[in-house]
Amino acid sequence: MKFFSVENLGIQFGGVRAVDSVSFDVRRGEVYTIIGPNGAGKTTIFNLIGLIYPASSGRIVFQGRELTGSKPHRVAELGIARTFQNIELFEHATVLQNLLIGRHRHRSTSLWQELAFTPAMRHAERAQREAVEKVIELLELQHYRDTMVAGLPYGVRKVIELGRALATEPRLLLLDEPSSGLNPEETNDMAFWIEDIQKGLGITVLMVEHDMSLVQRVSDRVLALNEGRVIAEGTPREVQQHPAVIEAYLGTRDDKEPLATGAGISA
Amino acid sequence: MRFLFKTSYDQDLRLFKHGGQVFWYSVLGVVLLAAPWWASEYLLSQLHFIGIYSIVGLGLMLLVGFTGQISLGHAAFLAVGAYTEALMQAAGWPFWLTLPCAALLSAAVGIIVGLPALRLKGIYLAIATLAFGVIVEEIITRWDSLTGGNSGKHVKPVELFGMKLDGDADFYYLVLALTAIACVALANLLRSPTGRAFVAIRDSEISASCMGVNLAKYKTMSFALSAALTGIGGALYAHKVTFISPEQFTLLVSIELVTIVILGGVGSLHGAVFGAAFVIVLPQLISIAKDYLPAAIGGAAGLQATVFGLVLVGFIIFEPLGLYGRWLKVRTWFELFPFYRKGMFRRQKSYMKSERLR
């Protein structure tokens, strides 16, 4: 049984085929990266996996279960967590509360227990807190525990998003451009954490990323997309040297329409 | 200034975070329990209303302040609760059964109203709930055989386990107990997974659903809980005013209820109680002020509505955190004296969300 597979996935927005019969498998325990120029359909694939968009065609299968046609919250319940390219945190809640919301799929108490805050409830909350503290320790968020998210700097928010996804104890973690907007030092931390998540926690990672040095460092396999289609798949090195990938990013030598002739610039 | 040194997770789970809170809440409790001795008949009657409005305010706060769903039709739930109570009492049911029934029926209606909320947002939801409020008001007016239409319905005092709670003090303790239960229950809920799911929906639906929060379930649940509390408030209201008719449940009442939430401070339980007290006290202040104002202003018909409107607009512009926010600032000023700075409560503007998925 494949761990996670996407088969002939496609979606159309009007006349645009944003994702066009894309297929790939992610093996258990690896870091699998999707790269591609802007507008290639990388984030759209994530939104299709998260069932935020309904797929026009194809199947998504996670551990033998078909996701397509289900509801977004079911995806999380099966053990797939994600982060967002443009941070989507719960702004008017503390960092701790944000991480605790990540524990939602592990809740065990009923509404009545919650209203009365029974001893069982207290016990359950303590367990949730302990799980969250592990994430706080891993990502070194101790300092921000009780601060409101609104007002925290971008780099920290990015880490909190990662933490919230980890708090769900996922089997598959989707990271949408984990290094975007981070400085080199923070990117380095992120790379370290991704390695830690893969090797230490044994979580499979599927990620979209632009920073090629980060991709080289952490990925086991890479998939390159352009205009919604797969153009190459393989190890980071193979993909980077693949002619189709170079063409997608840089164009070809004999391009009919050269980009910079300087016609409009000279004055 | 107080520094809390945390040594166990239980400290974050407690309702009262430190001894000071325990002390002041105990003082408040004692003062409120002793109210029948220190309060005049008039004041006690106002306390009834504040309690009832607090329960309703808490219900609406759960929906508006914590789940981020607006409702301009909450007077309808108030009406459902009030009429259920009146009709069941007239049919001879005991209070301990009629009150839960009022809550349950309101909750059921809340679920029905909650269903469009799954698809509607912001202003559209406001319009839908507003329409719902008008519909319920109309049904009550037209359904003569059941509700008595415009001639209204009389409600007898509460009878609980053979005791007639017809004295002001008896009814006061009933309201106080229910208000306290509502406060504690909501505070409990908000420190549990369900309350956190509500807050998640308020702040970002998309990431709430990606964290496994079933949006449909929790939005409906929020509507149901909110309506149930409002229904309980409605039942008590019916007993308090002893006579109910459709014009007590108009759109203006719904707006008054939203005023409670906004004046009190969106997103705080204290705010619901502060807002309720303010909304009850303000008309009294206005009527006192009338005596000192020139006749042309004091006698004007729309004076109360105008003042309410001005106060609401004033709060939105100058104190968006509401009365509770103002209270926090005053308290912080004293705690930090003389180091309080003006911008301490200013929040950084949220980042632009360039990619809204829906």
pLDDT tens track for A196-254: 999 999 999 999 998 888 999 999 999 999 988 999 999 999 988 888 888 888 887 76
Q: Which residue of B has its CA nearest to A169?
A: B211
Q: Which of B192, B204, B347, B350 to mutate to test the interface with A (most CBs of A within 10 A)?
A: B192
Q: Which residue of A has its CA nearest to B207?
A: A88
Instruction: Please count the residue pairs, one from chain A and one from chain B, whose beta carbons lie less than 8 angstroms apart.
Output: 131
- For B337, counting Cβ atoms within 10 Å of its Cβ (0-12 exposed, 13-18 middle, 19+ buried), the class is exposed
Interface list for A 122-141 with B (CB within 8 A): 122, 125-126, 128-130, 133
Q: Are residues B54 and B273 in contact, defined by beta-carbon separation less than 8 angstroms? A: yes
Residue A148 phi/psi, 5-degree rounding, is -70, 145
User: Which chain A residues contact residue B350 at CB under 8 A?
Assistant: 91, 150
Q: Which residue of B has its CA nearest to A146?
A: B12
Q: What is the mean pLDDT of chain B?
A: 86
Q: Is pLDDT of B302 > 70?
A: yes
- Could you give the CA distance from residue B39 to residue B45 in angstroms, rounded to a whole number? 9
Q: Which residue of B has its CA nearest to A73?
A: B212
Is A156's Cβ below 8 Å from some Cβ in B?
no
- Could you give the CA distance from residue B27 to residue A66 in angstroms, rounded to a whole number? 58
DSSP class of residue B349?
P
pLDDT tens track for A27-63: 999 999 999 888 888 889 999 999 988 888 999 999 9
Q: Which of B203, B211, B219, B356 to mutate to test the interface with A (most CBs of A within 10 A)?
A: B211
Interface list for A 74-103 with B (CB within 8 A): 75-77, 81-82, 84-93, 96-97, 100-103
Q: Which residue of B has its CA nearest to A128?
A: B193
Is A237's Cβ below 8 Å from some Cβ in B?
no
CB-based contact B9 A104, cutoff 8 Å: no
pLDDT band of residue A263 (cuts 50, 70, 90) is very low
Q: Which residue of A has its CA nearest to B185?
A: A115
User: Which chain B residues contact residue A91 at CB under 8 A?
Assistant: 203-204, 350
User: Which chain B residues contact residue A94 at CB under 8 A?
Assistant: none
Please tell me which of the candidates A86, A126, A130 has its beta carbon nearest to residue B355: A86
Predicted ipTM?
A: 0.88
| Predicted structure pTM score | 0.88
- Could you give the CA distance from residue A178 to residue A180 in angstroms, rounded to a whole number? 6
Please tell me which of the candidates A81, A115, A130 has its beta carbon nearest to residue B189: A115
Reduced 3-state DSSP string for chain A? CCCEEEEEEEEEECCEEEEEEEEEEECCCCEEEEECCCCCCHHHHHHHHCCCCCCCEEEEEECCEECCCCCHHHHHHCCEEECCCCCCCCCCCEHHHHHHHHHHHHCCCCHHHHHHCCHHHHHHHHHHHHHHHHHHHHHCCHHHCCCECCCCCHHHHHHHHHHHHHHCCCCEEEEECCCCCCCHHHHHHHHHHHHHHHHCCCCEEEEECCCHHHHHHHCCEEEEEECCEEEEEECHHHHHHCHHHHHHHHCCCCCCCCCCCCCCCCC
Please tell me which of the candidates A93, A114, A129 has its beta carbon nearest to residue B199: A93
Q: Is pLDDT of B355 > 50?
A: no
CB-based contact B206 A52, cutoff 8 Å: yes
pLDDT tens track for B54-112: 999 999 999 999 998 889 999 999 999 999 999 998 888 888 899 999 999 999 999 99
- Stretch A90-103: mean pLDDT, rounded? 92
pLDDT tens track for B177-208: 999 999 999 999 999 999 999 999 998 889 99
Task: State the number of CA atoms in the 13 A half-sphere of A113 facing the CB.
Answer: 15
CA distance A73 to chain B (A): 4
Q: Which two tokens stand for residue B334?
A: 């004293």
Run of H or E including B109: helix B95-117
User: Which chain A residues contact residue B267 at CB under 8 A?
Assistant: 92
CB-based contact B207 A88, cutoff 8 Å: yes
Q: Is pLDDT of B252 > 90?
A: no
User: Which chain A residues contact residue B265 at CB under 8 A?
Assistant: none
pLDDT band of residue B352 (cuts 50, 70, 90) is very low
Which residues, listed in sequence order, are joined to residue B158 by a DSSP beta bridge? Answer: B165
CB-based contact A125 B200, cutoff 8 Å: no
User: Which chain A residues contact residue B12 at CB under 8 A?
Assistant: 96, 129
- Could you give the CA distance from residue A88 to residue B357 in angstroms, rounded to a whole number? 11
Is A210's Cβ below 8 Å from some Cβ in B?
no
pLDDT band of residue A161 (cuts 50, 70, 90) is very high
Query: Which residues, in sequence order, are CB contacts of B320 under 8 Å at separation 6+?
Result: B266
- Stretch B138-146: mean pLDDT, rounded? 88
- What pLDDT score was predicted for residue A38? 86
